[in-house]
């Protein structure tokens, strides 16, 4: 209650200060401060209030500051012009930066002409970076180069070993003669282990020629068969071979291989399950170019195979093959 | 408080009315803002913004009446925003020597300097109530309309501001 009364006294004092208090309000204020020590202490009497406010009025009357401001439409126009200028400046900076970056990328490093003999060495963050000049390899350049260059992809010339004859009851059959098979292009510089060549690629012509030489090594057929062999029929075996023959596995080297003039032979083993689907590719002899090895394995994994069959039932097996890449684009 | 500027649509007419408005009120608004923020340069900038806002409002809505109270209300809001933004609500700018000199040279009186030092310690709401009534010459009713409050609230703010002014001005 006391607080409300004192707040009322504040309102009355404010009215007195502003010169808006009526006589009844002045009397009410006088009556309150006569009995309220805190209000008379903090607010003072009517004379004190008017004295303070007179000081404020005197300061107001003595003020001489008369500023002059620019007309608002000038400010608005200047603001618009400033906005245009800032926008044009930002666009110009962006344009210059873009041109500069492109020019540096296109000509900057080339103009520097660092060479292995005289390389550019940059100290950055405590590390020494050495720039060597290399012909930039772009996709466009690689494609243009690939049109003029070509890469020969061949299967290797491989000396076949005699086929396995470990199947029980197959002793009476003649072993397959070794054969030389060249696919696409005959390039006989690389020899891969004979066991790496699949059986399906045996060349009939080569086999006919080699038969004579091989026949001498073929053991004579057995004159007598065990009776049990007549009872147990020999199993029929078909080795794993790709569906589609030579064209089934078609490695496609990437453009970087052409640009780099990649050469080499990649030999690989492919695990094929009983359904003829490749499950794992292993590089047994790397070409020296990772891209070539990847291309071979990628093509091999995409191919489909006739699985190795024993008595008509597909079994998991391993397919071995090799490819030689010879690039003459840099010749 | 009762000045009402009629609707104007012509661009030249808008410029003419604004020019008249600037001529009549730029000094009062600038002085009011200088007392509020305690800095002449800031007061000039804020004054410019007030009349720029008036100019834009008239350009977009020429049918809306523009009163002097609107100018003071915009000025008050701008000053309070400036004080809050700068975190100098309780700052006493005239403690700096050059500001004190400029005020003394400007007004040739220590009363204004003392008053400014006292106003600098007031909350913005109390300072605006005192300045609108004692400086701009508005009644408590008119100041209440500008500040968006009641007349009794304005009187109470004036009273509380007066208590602070009394203590400071008595010490000095």
**Which residues have C-beta within 8 Å of that of residue A45, sequence separation ≥ 6?**
A30, A33
Residue B158: domain span: 11-171
Do A188 and A319 fall into the same domain? Answer: yes
Question: Is position B5 within any domain?
Answer: no
Nearest CB to A55; choose among B18, B54, B111: B111
Tens digits of residue pLDDT in A5-35? 788 888 998 898 888 888 998 998 888 888 8
Q: Which residues from B are below 8 Å from A56, CB to CB?
A: 115, 130, 134-135, 165
Kindly determine whether residue A65 and residue B31, on different chains, have CB atoms separated by under 8 Å.
yes
Structure ipTM: 0.73
Query: Is A159 found in the same domain as A123?
Result: no
- Partners of residue A20 in chain B, C-beta under 8 Å: 139-140, 155
Q: Is residue B138 part of a domain?
A: yes
Judge: B159–A10 Cβ closer than 8 Å, yes or no. yes
Is B126 a member of any domain? yes
Residue with more model confidence, B150 or A154: B150
Surface of B (132-151) touching A: CB under 8 A = 133-135, 139-140
pLDDT of residue A170: 42
Domain assignment present for B144:
yes
Residue A82 lies in a domain: no
Are A53 and A161 within one domain? Answer: no
What is the arithmetic mean of pLDDT over A56-63?
79
**pLDDT of residue A61 exceeding 50:** yes
- The tally of domains found in chain B comes to 1
For residue A322, give every residue at least 6 positions away whose Cβ sits within 8 Å of its Cβ, in sequence order, or none: A155, A156, A158, A190, A192, A196, A197, A265, A266, A267, A268, A285
Mean pLDDT along residues A252-269? 84
Express as a percent the part of chain A with pLDDT over 70.
57
Q: Are residues A149 and A235 in the same domain?
A: yes
CB within 8 Å of chain A, chain B residues 4-33: 15, 18-19, 22, 26-27, 30-31
Q: Which of A75, A105, A134 is the last residue of a domain?
A: A134
| Number of domains composing chain A | 3
Q: Would an 8 Å CB–CB cutoff place B90 in contact with chain A?
A: no
- B155–A59: do the CB atoms touch at under 8 Å? no
Chain A interface with B: residues with Cβ < 8 Å? 7, 10-15, 17-18, 20, 42-44, 48-49, 52-53, 55-60, 62-73, 75-76, 79
Could you tell me if residue A76 is inside a domain? no
Residue A80 belongs to a domain: no
Across A52-66, A78-92, A225-239, A293-307, the highest mean pLDDT is recorded for A293-307
- Cβ distance B169 to A55 less than 8 Å, yes or no, reads yes
Lowest model confidence (mean pLDDT) among A252-256, A305-309, B14-18, B52-56: B14-18
Most confident option among A53-62, A193-202, B80-89: A53-62
Query: What residue of B is the nearest CA neighbor of A40?
Result: B163
Question: Taking Cα atoms as reference points, which of A30, A36, A37 lies closest to residue A12?
Answer: A30
Q: What is the pLDDT of residues A204-214, one digit of tens each?
A: 444 444 444 44
Residues of B in contact with A60 (CB under 8 A): 134-135
Q: Map chain A to HEC letters.
A: CHHHHHHHHHHHHHHHHCCCCCHHHHHHHHHHHHHCHHHHHHCCCHHHHHHHHHHHHHHHHCCCCCCCCCCHHHHHHHHHHHHHHHHHHHHHHHHHHHHHHHHHHHHHHHHHCCCCCCCEEEEECCEEEEECCCCCCCHHHHHHHHHHCCEEEEECCCCCCCCCCCCCCCCCCCCCCCCCCCCCCCCCCCCCCHHHCCHHHCCHHHHHHHHHHHHCCCCCCCCCCCHHHHHCCCCCEECCEECCHHHHCCCCCCHHHHHHCCCEEEEEEEEECCCCCEEEEEEEECCCCHHHHHHHHHHHHHCCEECEEECCEEECEEEEEEEEEEECCCC
The answer to whether residues A208 and A308 belong to one domain is: yes
Residues A48 and A100 in one domain: no
Per-chain mean pLDDT for chain A: 71
Tell whether B81 is within 8 A of chain A (Cβ). Answer: no
Interface probe with A: pick from B14, B52, B55, most Cβ of A within 10 Å: B52
Alpha-carbon distance of A187 to A205, in angstroms, equals 18
Chain B nearest-CA residue for A15: B155
Cross-chain residue pair A75–B52, CB shorter than 8 Å: yes
The answer for residues whose C-beta is within 8 angstroms of residue A308's C-beta and 6 or more apart is A237, A238, A239, A240, A272, A314, A315, A316, A317
Q: Do B22 and A44 touch (CB under 8 A)?
A: no
pTM of the model: 0.46
Q: Are residues A113 and A155 located together in one domain of the fold? A: no
CA A98 to chain centre: 25
Query: Is pLDDT larger for residue B16 or for residue A159?
Result: B16
A221 is a domain residue: no
Same domain, A183 and A321: yes
Kindly list the residues from chain B whose CB atom is less than 8 angstroms away from the CB atom of residue A75. Answer: 48, 52
Residues A202 and A320 in one domain: yes
Highest averaged pLDDT of the listed ranges A206-215, B25-34, B58-67, B114-123: B25-34
| B2: in domain | no
* Residues on chain A touching B56 (C-beta within 8 angstroms): 72, 76
Any idea which residue has 């100018």 for tokens? B71
Chain centre to alpha carbon of residue A151 = 27
Domain ranges, residue A21: 2-61
Say whether both A18 and A154 belong to one domain.
no
A97-138: per-residue pLDDT in tens?
A: 888 888 777 666 555 554 555 556 666 666 666 555 555 555
Question: Which residues from chain A sit within 8 angstroms of residue B160, using beta carbons?
Answer: 10
Give mean pLDDT, residues B73-77.
91
Tell which of A42, A61, A80 closes a domain.
Answer: A61
Instruction: Specify if B139 maps to a domain.
Output: yes
pLDDT of A154 over the 90 cut: no
What was the pLDDT predicted at A109? 55
A52 plus A180 within the same structural domain = no
C-alpha span between A53 and A15 (Å, rounded): 11
Compute the nearest-CA separation of A87 from chain B (Å): 22
> Domain for residue A78, yes or no?
no
Residue at A313 is within a domain: yes
Residue B64 in this model has a pLDDT that exceeds 60:
yes
The confidence score (pLDDT) of residue B97 equals: 45
Q: Do A56 and A120 sit in the same domain of this protein?
A: no
CATH of the domain at B46: 1.20.140.160
| Dist CA A151 CA A331 (whole Å) | 11
Sheet containing A317-327: give its strands across. A151-155, A317-327, A264-272, A278-285
**Among A264, A317, A273, A250, CA closest to A292:** A264
């Amino acid at each position: 209650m006391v607080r409300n009364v004192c707040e009322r006294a504040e309102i009355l004092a404010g009215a007195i200060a502003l010169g808006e208090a009526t006589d009844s309000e002045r009397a009410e204020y006088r009556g309150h401060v006569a009995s309220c020590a805190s209000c008379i202490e903090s607010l003072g009497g009517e004379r004190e209030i008017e004295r303070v406010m007179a000081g404020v009025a005197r300061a107001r009357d003595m003020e001489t500051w008369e500023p002059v401001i620019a007309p608002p439409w000038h400010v608005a126009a200047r603001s618009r012009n400033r906005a245009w200028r800032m926008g044009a400046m930002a666009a110009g900076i962006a344009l210059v930066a873009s041109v500069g970056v492109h020019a540096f990328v296109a000509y900057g490093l080339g103009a520097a002409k660092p060479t292995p003999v005289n390389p550019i060495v940059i100290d950055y963050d405590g590390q020494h970076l050495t720039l060597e000049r290399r012909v930039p390899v772009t996709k466009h350049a690689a494609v243009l180069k690939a049109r003029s260059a070509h890469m020969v992809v061949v299967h290797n010339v491989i000396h076949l070993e005699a086929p396995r004859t470990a199947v029980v009851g197959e002793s009476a059959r003649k072993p397959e003669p070794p054969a030389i098979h060249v696919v696409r292009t005959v390039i006989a510089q690389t020899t891969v282990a004979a066991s790496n060549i699949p059986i399906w690629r045996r060349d009939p012509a080569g086999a006919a020629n080699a038969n004579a030489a091989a026949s001498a090594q073929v053991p004579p057929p057995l004159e007598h068969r065990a009776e049990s062999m007549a009872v147990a029929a020999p199993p029929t075996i078909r080795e794993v071979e790709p569906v589609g023959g030579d064209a089934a596995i078609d490695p496609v080297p990437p453009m970087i291989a052409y640009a780099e003039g990649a050469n080499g032979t990649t030999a690989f083993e492919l695990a094929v399950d009983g359904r003829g689907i490749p499950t794992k590719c292993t590089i047994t002899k790397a070409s020296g170019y990772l891209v070539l090895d990847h291309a071979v394995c990628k093509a091999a994994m995409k191919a489909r195979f006739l699985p190795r069959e024993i008595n008509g039932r597909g079994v998991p097996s391993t397919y071995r093959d090799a490819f030689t890449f010879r690039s003459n684009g840099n010749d | 408080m009762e000045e009402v500027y009629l609707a104007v649509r012509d661009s030249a007419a808008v410029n003419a009315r604004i020019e008249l408005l600037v001529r009549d009120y730029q000094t009062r608004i600038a002085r009011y803002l200088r007392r509020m923020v305690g800095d002449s340069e800031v007061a000039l900038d804020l004054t410019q913004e007030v009349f720029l806002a008036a100019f834009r409002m008239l350009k977009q809505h020429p049918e809306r009446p523009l009163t002097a109270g609107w100018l003071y209300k915009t000025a008050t809001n701008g000053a309070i925003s400036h004080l809050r933004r700068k975190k100098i609500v309780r700052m006493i700018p005239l403690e700096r020597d050059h500001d004190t000199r400029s005020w003394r040279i400007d007004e040739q009186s220590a009363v204004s300097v003392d008053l400014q030092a006292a106003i600098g310690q007031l909350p913005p709401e109390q300072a605006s109530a005192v300045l609108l009534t004692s400086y701009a010459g508005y009644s408590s009713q008119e100041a209440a309309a500008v500040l968006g409050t009641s007349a009794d609230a304005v009187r109470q703010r004036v009273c509380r501001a007066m208590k602070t002014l009394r203590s400071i001005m008595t010490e000095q």
